[in-house]
Chains A and B, each alone.
Chain A
Amino acid sequence: MAELKGLAGARERWVSTGGVELCVAELGDPTRPTVVLVHGYPDSKEVWSEVAERLADRFHVVLYDVRGHGRSTAPTPLRGGFTLEKLTDDFLAVADAVSPDEPVHLVGHDWGSVQSWEFATVRRTEGRIASFTSMSGPSLDHFGHWIKKRMARPTPRRVGQLLGQGAKSWYVYMLHTPVLPELAWRGPLGKRWPKILERMEKVPAGDYPTPSLPSDAAHGAWLYRDNVRARLSRPRADAYAHVPVQLVLPLGDIFLSQRLYDELELWAPGLVRRTLPAKHWVPRTRPDQLSAWISEFVLANEEREAGVPAHRTKATGKHAERFGGQLVLVTGAGSGIGRATAFAFAEAGARVVAVDRDAESAARTAEMAQLIGAPQAWAETVDVTDEQAMEKLAEKVAAEYGIVDVLVNNAGIGLSGSFFDTTPEDWKKVLDVNLWGVIHGCRLFGKQMAERGQGGHIVNTASAAAFQPSKALPAYSTSKAAVLMLSECLRAELAGQGIGVSAICPGLVNTNITATARFAGVDAEEEKRRQKKSSRLYGLRNYPPEKVADAILTAVVRNQAVVPVTPEARGAHLMSRFTPKALRAVARLEPPL
């Protein structure tokens, strides 16, 4: 077999156990904590190559081909050779070979996770496992209890959950038919599988799947036949995890329903949950995020073992499962909605880059963000209208902090005054900040996001003025309408790459945008009076920026396209669709300033 690119530099050895020879590959410094990556069906250890590479400079990374897969030999006969008991023997043999003195950190995907649940819950592995990260593979015992519970007291919701998962498990029944699956895999299915994966899952082409796929898949059918029926009908009652567990839950998994994990805390106390907007093959499609979460979890458990007290502020905010450890960049983060958004992400455990043209307030935001849960936060001083400065910032962020997972283009300024009072300079200024700032942000950070190809999200702060015409805000409304349309177009363009784009249209929110807004066509004193008056009006309305921040986080979680926030913004949005004439009449009113 050709040398595999992804596992270049790996040290290979063979471990014999129960009549089979397992192919074990090791990367990284053996004195570091050992992380064992277990692959699923129909894969071989190469499914982990992207993740292993990222973990190798911090850990001793071990991968092995499960019996009958890749370069490991298959048991004879196949029937009865793939029981969870035998797979546990294999794991213990590998663990003893690669880390005889220290327990290992276990990571499993798909069937790798299913069997790892067995390792993490049976008595004979106690003391050999330090932590377990599970993705896309439930414990068959937990699954059995899950089904029993729903059969025993079938409420409509529970029946729905049963039917839903039942439909997603179609391939499990297929794999129970004799011979046919083997024929299919060794024949046409095996040939087409890489293309199917690429189309359905957007798995980037590379060293995976390996040429051994047809025989892996044919052998692996016995994983199902040897275990599924037996365990689902008679699940073990004592399947409690004896190690800390981290669950990574891909939300778009077509094989597993999220509901399966609803009561997992009962089996795994202290469970850490992570959610990921991705499909089933996350080790291929989201290696950056996975390796970050695995590292964090492994290190936290190593520290706990070593008796180091937990020093970090725990992220307790909403959506912490989703944003924990992600990198979020917010422009205009020195005040108002931007600052509140930075704080909301910080509370959810995200790493935050606070960008503002005012250095002091950006620094303040970063400092406070760290106090409330951001593991790291940085302040950057940039004027979003300055193309070169933005380019420099994008380079710096990518080099020093990483690729941004969520970008919030929020910086904006206010400008009021009739069209003929608005000078070309006024127009230029408002378009420079409100529109060009967003363009630069999307262009530079959005491009990095798209090039990495591991998903992400862009949020642009537009305004209710984007769909509500007004004779008092022609320039401002125009700039915001442009932001809204830009967001919608970009959303269409990036949809295929797993990158969402949302436009937020807040409405009247109590921030200092009114105090700094320009009023065209009036002298300085009158401008000051109007700023004061409008600030007071916005203050009386008193809609807090924190609620807009909450709406932004929700928009990212749900991948919403356009989000009007305040009730008046929602009303105007509805009117713009159903009674645009009425909205045009409102546009003629003189604002009470």
Chain B
Amino acid sequence: MTPAVVRELSAELRGFREVQSLAYECAEAVAAQLKPGVTEREAARMQREWLRERGVRDWFHLPFAWFGDRTAFAGFRIPLQFFPTNRKLEAGMPFILDMAPVHKGYTADIGYSGSLGLNPVQDKLLADLEAHRELIVREVRERRSLREIYEDVDRLMVRQGYANRHRAYPFGVIAHKVDRVKERRISPTLFGFGTQSLKGLASDAIHGHRDGWSPLWSPYKFSDHPPQPGLWAVEPHLGFRGTGAKFEEILVVTDSKDPEQSAFWLDDDLPHVRRWAEGI
């Protein structure tokens, strides 16, 4: 890459990084306020309000909150079950907060796992996610096909004794592309997804279809291609009996020849990464 391209890229990346860290800040702030009796709907509203107060007007998708065995997507069959319910938080329960705000035209999509008080099972799951973060970036750098990487993630989960819960996501995706979004005066949502972002994803899908790639990273044939340059929101999601844990953050893929530059995580200063660094 020429220095000019790198400069432009880094300006762009800074925008994405800012909104991603804003979203994680929101997750930590909301998580700190959770107490027994709070419902998923209330937790989702807390996220929405926190971000609205800080200037977020559009969404890739509206904030979700899952409590208890819903973190493991127990019995999830249709996408409507993703939406927050009146399930109440109890002591020791695991929870996941998931939000995708659009700020100043930049999109983030994050997932934050935690528990109300001690939950040794979820702690273990969170610790085991570290291996997945390393595996994903390593294999993307090796330019393996996305489908192959998906299968390797799957195998690692099975070896760890877990079930792959992102299989319950629409199209079984482990990741999807994110992009800049045009700022509009009104930003309607459709089934919880921002229409602007959906438009972007759809146009990616159409262009990608012509060139043989897809903006959705799935276990299916349409993901049988090397990683496409761009920003990918990656969300490996582990389930173990009634407990689930995930992280979601942005992986930057470029067409650089330098392996280090060809794929890297947008930001390493995130709650789960700090947690591993502290050796908890």
- A372 in contact with B241 (CB, 8 Å): yes
Which of A313, A364, A512 is B160 in contact with, Cβ under 8 Å? Answer: A364
Flag B236-251 by CB within 8 Å of A: 1 or 0 each.
0000110000000000
- B241 in contact with A339 (CB, 8 Å): no
Contacts A371-B124, A372-B121 given; does A364 touch B241 at CB 8 Å? no
Q: Which residues of A contact B159 (CB under 8 A)?
A: 335, 361, 364
Contacts A343-B241, A347-B241 given; does A368 touch B161 at CB 8 Å? yes
User: Is A514 positioned at the interface, with any CB of B under 8 Å from its CB?
Assistant: no
- B158 in contact with A512 (CB, 8 Å): yes
Task: State in angstroms the CA–CA spacing of A536 and B159 once bound together.
Answer: 17
Flag A286-316 by CB within 8 Å of B: 1 or 0 each.
0000000000000000000000000001000
Instruction: Tell me how far the C-beta of A577 lies from the nearest C-beta in chain B, rounded to whole angstroms.
Output: 33
Instruction: Tell me how far the C-beta of A208 lies from the nearest C-beta in chain B, rounded to whole angstroms.
Output: 44
Number of A-B contacts (CB under 8 A): 24
- B158 in contact with A368 (CB, 8 Å): no
- B161 in contact with A339 (CB, 8 Å): yes
Task: State in angstroms the CA–CA spacing of A557 and B124 once bound together.
Answer: 31
User: Is B163 positioned at the interface, with any CB of A under 8 Å from its CB?
Assistant: yes
Task: State in angstroms the CA–CA spacing of A342 and B159 once bound together.
Answer: 15
Task: State in angstroms the CA–CA spacing of A335 and B156 once bound together.
Answer: 12
User: Is B120 positioned at the interface, with any CB of A under 8 Å from its CB?
Assistant: yes
Instruction: Tell me how far the C-beta of A313 lies from the nearest C-beta in chain B, rounded to whole angstroms.
Output: 7
Q: Which residues of B contact A368 (CB under 8 A)?
A: 124, 161, 240
Say what secondary structure dominates the interface of chain B. helix
Task: State in angstroms the CA–CA spacing of A365 and B163 once bound together.
Answer: 14
User: Is A6 positioned at the interface, with any CB of B under 8 Å from its CB?
Assistant: no
Q: Which residue of A lies closest to B162 (CB)?
A: A368
Task: State in angstroms the CA–CA spacing of A372 and B240 once bound together.
Answer: 10
Q: Which of B121-135 contact A (CB under 8 A)?
A: 121, 124
User: Is A544 positioned at the interface, with any CB of B under 8 Å from its CB?
Assistant: yes
Q: Which residues of B contact A335 (CB under 8 A)?
A: 158-159
Task: State in angstroms the CA–CA spacing of A481 and B147 once bound together.
Answer: 38
Q: Which residues of B contact A371 (CB under 8 A)?
A: 120-121, 124
Flag A475-519 by CB within 8 Å of B: 1 or 0 each.
000000000000000000000000000000000000010000000
Q: Which residues of A contact B124 (CB under 8 A)?
A: 368, 371
Q: Which residues of A contact B240 (CB under 8 A)?
A: 368, 372
Flag B104-148 by CB within 8 Å of A: 1 or 0 each.
000000000000000011001000000000000000000000000
Which of A313, A365, A512, A544 is B161 in contact with, Cβ under 8 Å? Answer: A365
Task: State in angstroms the CA–CA spacing of A371 and B240 once bound together.
Answer: 11
Task: State in angstroms the CA–CA spacing of A313 and B158 once bound together.
Answer: 24
Task: State in angstroms the CA–CA spacing of A347 and B159 once bound together.
Answer: 20
Task: State in angstroms the CA–CA spacing of A313 and B118 once bound together.
Answer: 11
Q: Which residues of A contact B120 (CB under 8 A)?
A: 313, 371
Task: State in angstroms the CA–CA spacing of A365 and B162 once bound together.
Answer: 11
Instruction: Tell me how far the C-beta of A86 lies from the nearest C-beta in chain B, rounded to whole angstroms.
Output: 47
Q: Which residues of A contact B163 (CB under 8 A)?
A: 544
Instruction: Tell me how far the C-beta of A341 lies from the nearest C-beta in chain B, rounded to whole angstroms.
Output: 12
Task: State in angstroms the CA–CA spacing of A361 and B120 once bound together.
Answer: 20
Q: Which of B175-204 contact A (CB under 8 A)?
A: none
- B121 in contact with A364 (CB, 8 Å): no
Instruction: Tell me how far the C-beta of B198 lies from the nearest C-beta in chain A, rounded to whole angstroms.
Output: 28
Task: State in angstroms the CA–CA spacing of A546 and B163 once bound together.
Answer: 10
Task: State in angstroms the CA–CA spacing of A377 and B161 once bound together.
Answer: 15
Q: Which residues of A contact B121 (CB under 8 A)?
A: 371-372
Task: State in angstroms the CA–CA spacing of A544 and B163 once bound together.
Answer: 9
Flag A531-570 by CB within 8 Å of B: 1 or 0 each.
0000000000000101000000000000000000000000
Q: Which residue of B lies closest to A542 (CB)?
A: B167
- B161 in contact with A364 (CB, 8 Å): yes
Task: State in angstroms the CA–CA spacing of A430 and B148 once bound together.
Answer: 31
Residue with the highest number of chain A CB atoms closer than 10 Å, among B121, B161, B240: B161
Flag A341-363 by CB within 8 Å of B: 1 or 0 each.
00100010000000000000100
Instruction: Tell me how far the C-beta of A347 lies from the nearest C-beta in chain B, rounded to whole angstroms.
Output: 7
Residue with the highest number of chain B CB atoms closer than 10 Å, among A339, A343, A372: A372
Q: Which of B246-265 contact A (CB under 8 A)?
A: none
Task: State in angstroms the CA–CA spacing of A347 and B121 once bound together.
Answer: 12
Q: Which residues of B contact A313 (CB under 8 A)?
A: 120
Instruction: Tell me how far the C-beta of B131 lies from the nearest C-beta in chain A, rounded to whole angstroms.
Output: 13
Q: Which residue of A lies closest to B154 (CB)?
A: A539
Task: State in angstroms the CA–CA spacing of A339 and B120 once bound together.
Answer: 19
Q: Which residues of B contact A372 (CB under 8 A)?
A: 121, 240-241
Instruction: Tell me how far the C-beta of A430 lies from the nearest C-beta in chain B, rounded to whole angstroms.
Output: 23
Task: State in angstroms the CA–CA spacing of A546 and B240 once bound together.
Answer: 11
Task: State in angstroms the CA–CA spacing of A53 and B241 once bound together.
Answer: 40
Q: Which residues of A contact B161 (CB under 8 A)?
A: 339, 343, 364-365, 368
Q: Which residues of A contact B160 (CB under 8 A)?
A: 364
Instruction: Tell me how far the C-beta of B218 lies from the nearest C-beta in chain A, rounded to whole angstroms.
Output: 13
Task: State in angstroms the CA–CA spacing of A166 and B121 once bound together.
Answer: 48
Q: Which of A33-66 contact B (CB under 8 A)?
A: none
Q: Which residue of B lies closest to A368 (CB)?
A: B161
Instruction: Tell me how far the C-beta of B74 lies from the nearest C-beta in chain A, rounded to whole angstroms.
Output: 11
Instruction: Tell me how far the C-beta of B247 lies from the nearest C-beta in chain A, rounded to whole angstroms.
Output: 20
Task: State in angstroms the CA–CA spacing of A409 and B91 once bound together.
Answer: 38
Instruction: Tell me how far the C-beta of A552 lies from the nearest C-beta in chain B, rounded to whole angstroms.
Output: 16
Q: Which residue of B lies closest to A358 (CB)?
A: B159
Q: Which residue of B lies closest to A511 (CB)?
A: B158
Q: Which residues of A contact B241 (CB under 8 A)?
A: 343, 347, 372, 546
Flag A302-343 by CB within 8 Å of B: 1 or 0 each.
000000000001000000000000000000000100010001
Task: State in angstroms the CA–CA spacing of A11 and B139 once bound together.
Answer: 73
Instruction: Tell me how far the C-beta of B140 lies from the nearest C-beta in chain A, rounded to whole angstroms.
Output: 22
Task: Show 24 residue pairs from A and B whose CB-CB distance is below 8 angstroms, ordered by the A residue.
Answer: A313-B120, A335-B158, A335-B159, A339-B161, A343-B161, A343-B241, A347-B241, A361-B159, A364-B159, A364-B160, A364-B161, A365-B161, A368-B124, A368-B161, A368-B240, A371-B120, A371-B121, A371-B124, A372-B121, A372-B240, A372-B241, A512-B158, A544-B163, A546-B241
Q: Can you list the 10 inter-chain pairs with the closest CB atoms, starting with the nearest?
A: A371-B121, A368-B161, A371-B120, A364-B161, A371-B124, A372-B241, A339-B161, A372-B121, A365-B161, A343-B241
A sample of 4 more A-B contacts (CB under 8 A), given A361-B159, A364-B159, is A335-B159, A368-B124, A368-B161, A546-B241
